[in-house]
Amino acid sequence: MRLLLEVFDQAYTAPSWHGTPLKGTLRGLSAREARWRPVPKRHCIWDLVLHTAYWKCMVRRRLLRDPDIAFPRDGANWPPLPDRPNDAAWNRDRALLDEQHKLLHHAIAKLKAADLGRRGWRSRWKVKAEIYGIASHDLYHAGQIQILKRLMKRR
C-alpha cells in the first residue's frame, strides 16, 4: 500500500525524476495566465486544474464505494470556470485541487491489501488500477500544463 501512496503523491507533489509534478506546474501562475488558451475552445490550465480535482473526487468515490461523495463544484469532468475568474477564485480552485488530493490520499491509506484486487464502485477497473490511473492522470495533465506555459511565453 505504501508504494501506491508514494506513486500517487509523487505524481502530485513529491520530487520526482520524471519532472515537475502536477502541483509544481501551477507554482507562480496568476489567474490571467491560468485562463490563457492557445486557441479558442481549447483547454486552459485552469480547466485542467478543475478536471484533475474532479477526477480525484470520483476515484475516491469509487474506492470508498460511497455514492454520497460529490464534487463540490457544479459540472462534471470539465467543470466551468468561476463567473469571476480572478486571483482569489484561482487560489480557491488550487486549494480545491489540494483538498481533493488529500482526501483521496486518506482514502487510499485506509485500504487494505485485499481491496486492491476488487473493482471500484461502478467501475470496470480494479482498485489498484484506479490508483495507478489517477497518478498517471496527474502526470499526463502536468505535461500538458508545461506545454501550455511554454506556448504562453511564445505569444
Per-residue confidence of the chain (155 residues) as pLDDT tens digits? 899 999 999 999 978 888 899 999 999 999 999 999 999 999 999 999 999 999 999 999 999 999 999 999 998 999 999 999 999 999 999 999 999 999 999 999 999 999 999 999 999 999 999 999 999 999 999 999 999 999 998 87
Which pTM was predicted?
0.95
48: domain CATH number? 1.20.120.450
Q: What is the 3-state secondary structure (H, E, C) of the chain?
A: CHHHHHHHHHHHCCCCCCCCCHHHHCCCCCHHHHHCCCCCCCCCHHHHHHHHHHHHHHHHHHHHCCCCCCCCCCCCCCCCCCCCCCHHHHHHHHHHHHHHHHHHHHHHHHCCHHHHHCECCCCCCEHHHHHHHHHHHHHHHHHHHHHHHHHHHHC
Our count of domains for the chain comes to: 1
Range of the domain at 14: 2-154
